[in-house]
Structure 1
Amino acid sequence: MQQSLSLDTFSDLIGNLYQGPLETIPWATFLNQLNVHLESKYVTFILRPPSTHVDGLMVNTTGTSTEAVASYNTHFFTLDPFVGLPNRQVVTLAEFVSSDDWQKSEFYKNFLEAVDVFHILGADINTCDGAQCRIRISRGRDDKPFGDEEKTLLAHFIPHLERSIKVHMQLNRIEVERNLYAGAVNQMAVGTIILDEAGKVLQTNQVADRLIQEKDGIKLVNDGLQVGTDRDTQEFRRLVKQSLLSQKSSNPSMVEALRVQRPSGRADLGIIVRSVPLSEWSEGKQCPTVVIFISDPEQQSTAPQEIVRALFDFTPAETQLAMLLANGLTLDEASEELGISRNTARAHLRSTFSKTGVTRQTMLVRLILRSVATLG
């Protein structure tokens, strides 16, 4: 191992450690750097230990075979004796398992010997949030065993790695929540477009992407939005500018509405322009500043029929009829679509009234469209 790390090298390693949660493969850069400085064969960071119910989640340095990872996840993790280390304490395998027991172990003979892993240095990090992480560093049989120098070096990184794990967990929770809410908005067929402080598009959801691609009432030009007629666009830009000023002045979130004509003659789009309240420490030119919500009256309900059926205890035939009515068809059009007589359709409709407690077709449609079925 290199005898010592310069301040610049140590700073670079720490920087990449904290950059880790933002990498496509978390901590890949830091782990590969650490592998070089410790002159080891492999470094493995286990974010989630494998179990009989779920595969482990681990990051490995370059050169680790996918077959070895799969074998560990499916079988050999149950034989690994180098687990359950004292929390946050760097330990060598030689301190934990005797050399004789190690060489006789099935884990070594059937798994690690083939890839020439003999000496192991490691630490476990169990956070207050419930994370159970492990870092393992390995060398071959003919390599120098890990000693105090390597233990001390790794120990310097353990507190920083724990903090970085907590950052990763927080970012992951935020991303999961964002995806859940974004998915719900998509299911509700509401387009969302987020603008930065310059009025440029930062992010769009699937519904907004479809509307933009159609170029029928809204389109993207040089990262900015044009809507409807020239007059619509002027009014839209005025509302966006007003929302930007509202946010910068820390006024309560401003909401404005606009109806936009479509060149195709299809039903007008409905647009809501709303300023995004800044958090106390928000900074930077690419913070979300304005959000645009778009509704398309011609967008059909995508509520899954099986969910509508389960919610309201409809028969399959009643469900099909109710969904057609919810998507704007008249009773006559729905009966023709289903290939049934109008009297049969009316009988199905009366049955849905009885099951839902409504008395008019419009009330039934409203009930379905406002139900949680659209989130299914």
Structure 2
Amino acid sequence: MPELIGLVYEGLNETTPWFGLAERLRHVLVARNVTVTLHHSDDRPSDLQVMSVEPHDETDWLLAEQIHRERFTHIELLDPESVLPGDILVFGPRDVEPDCAEFMRSLDVASCLRTCFAEPGGMRCWVDVVRGHNAPEQGFSSSDVELIRNLLPHLFRALGLYARLQRQEAERSIYEGCLDHLVLGCRPWRYGSG
């Protein structure tokens, strides 16, 4: 647990935020895939997805995500927006309609765990953990859920710090842009020039 908590906060400084956490969670939870999805509310055109997959996994997870969004977001259980901050949801092919269940089986998805965390400025984040049929334990145990529950307070706090850093970076960029425009609008003044 201390290692995972450390990765939650170290993830703020990673080039790809929280990749180290996703990678370690994949190992700890014996998962095929762990994805951290960061939704920037209205200040960015798209989400940031950080994904850790098994080394020889040839699944096109981005295509799978696109198909999921196009065909199955009407299923409340699969809609990330339906998971409230702090909730932990476990589901699998048995919990969805037949077309979706077949799609999940085609991706070798035996079970999924999803949680959400947020910060007051509107930024939301989801962690999705996917286990395949070859996992020693296809479902998620109460200890798996408890591990995620213990990480959630740290994820909330780290997301707040991340959002604050992002806002400060945006403000700095605006100030730099204003200063650049000021320099362009000024010309050297010399005594005697009209």
Q: Which of 102, 125, 146 lines up with 1:109 in the alignment?
A: 102
Q: TM-score under structure 1 normalisation?
A: 0.42
Question: Take 1:74 and 1:15, find their aligned partners in 2: how far apart are those partners?
Answer: 32
Q: Which of 9, 25, 36 lines up with 1:45 in the alignment?
A: 36
Q: Matched residue of 2:127: which SS?
A: strand
Question: Take 1:172 and 1:73, find their aligned partners in 2: how far apart are those partners?
Answer: 29
Q: Which residue of 1 aligns with 2:167?
A: 173
Q: Which residue of 1 aligns with 2:181?
A: 187
Decide whether the 8 Å contact of 1:55 with 1:73 is kept in 2. no
**Change over 3 Å in CA distance of 1:90–1:185 after alignment to 2:** same
Question: Take 2:6 and 2:105, find their aligned partners in 1: how far apart are those partners?
Answer: 34
Quote the offset at 1:176 in angstroms. 0.6
Question: Take 2:177 and 2:14, find their aligned partners in 1: how far apart are those partners?
Answer: 24
Q: Which residue of 2 aligns with 1:26?
A: 17
Question: Take 2:117 and 2:142, find their aligned partners in 1: how far apart are those partners?
Answer: 20
Question: Which protein has greater RCO, CA pairs closer than 8 Å, 6+ apart?
Answer: 2
Q: TM-score under structure 2 normalisation?
A: 0.77
Q: Which residue of 2 aligns with 1:12?
A: 3
Q: Does 1:68 align with 2:63?
A: yes
**Change over 3 Å in CA distance of 1:50–1:180 after alignment to 2:** closer
Q: Which of 156, 159, 164 lines up with 2:153 in the alignment?
A: 159
Q: Which residue of 1 aligns with 2:73?
A: 78
Q: Matched residue of 1:122: which SS?
A: strand
Give the AA of the match of 1:24. Answer: T
Question: Who wins on radius of gyration, i.e. which is larger?
Answer: 1
Quote the offset at 1:66 in angstroms. 5.9
Q: Which residue of 2 aligns with 1:138?
A: 130
Quote the offset at 1:116 in angstroms. 1.3
CA deviation vs aligned residue, 1:178-222 (integer Å, no higher than 9, x gap): 1111112122237xxxxxxxxxxxxxxxxxxxxxxxxxxxxxxxx
- Residue pairs, 1:277-316, within 5 angstroms: 297=188
Greater CA drift, 64-73 or 166-175: 64-73
Q: Which residue of 1 aligns with 2:91?
A: 93
Quote the offset at 1:68 in angstroms. 2.7
CA deviation vs aligned residue, 1:40-82 (integer Å, no higher than 9, x gap): 111111111899x954332111457463366258625624533
- Residue pairs, 1:230-309, within 5 angstroms: 297=188
Quote the offset at 1:131 in angstroms. 2.3
**Change over 3 Å in CA distance of 1:18–1:88 after alignment to 2:** same
Question: Take 1:141 and 1:103, find their aligned partners in 2: how far apart are those partners?
Answer: 19
Give the AA of the match of 1:75. Answer: E
Quote the offset at 1:146 in angstroms. 0.7
Decide whether the 8 Å contact of 2:32 with 2:53 is kept in 1. no
Quote the offset at 1:167 in angstroms. 0.6
Decide whether the 8 Å contact of 2:41 with 2:123 is kept in 1. no
The number of equivalent residue pairs is: 179
Give the AA of the match of 1:88. Answer: G
Decide whether the 8 Å contact of 1:21 with 1:164 is kept in 2. yes
Quote the offset at 1:170 in angstroms. 0.3
Query: Which consecutive residues of structure 1, in runs of 5 or more, have no partner in the other structure?
Result: 1-9, 191-294, 299-361, 363-376
Question: Take 1:55 and 1:109, find their aligned partners in 2: how far apart are those partners?
Answer: 28
Question: Take 1:34 and 1:74, find their aligned partners in 2: how far apart are those partners?
Answer: 24
Decide whether the 8 Å contact of 1:47 with 1:57 is kept in 2. yes
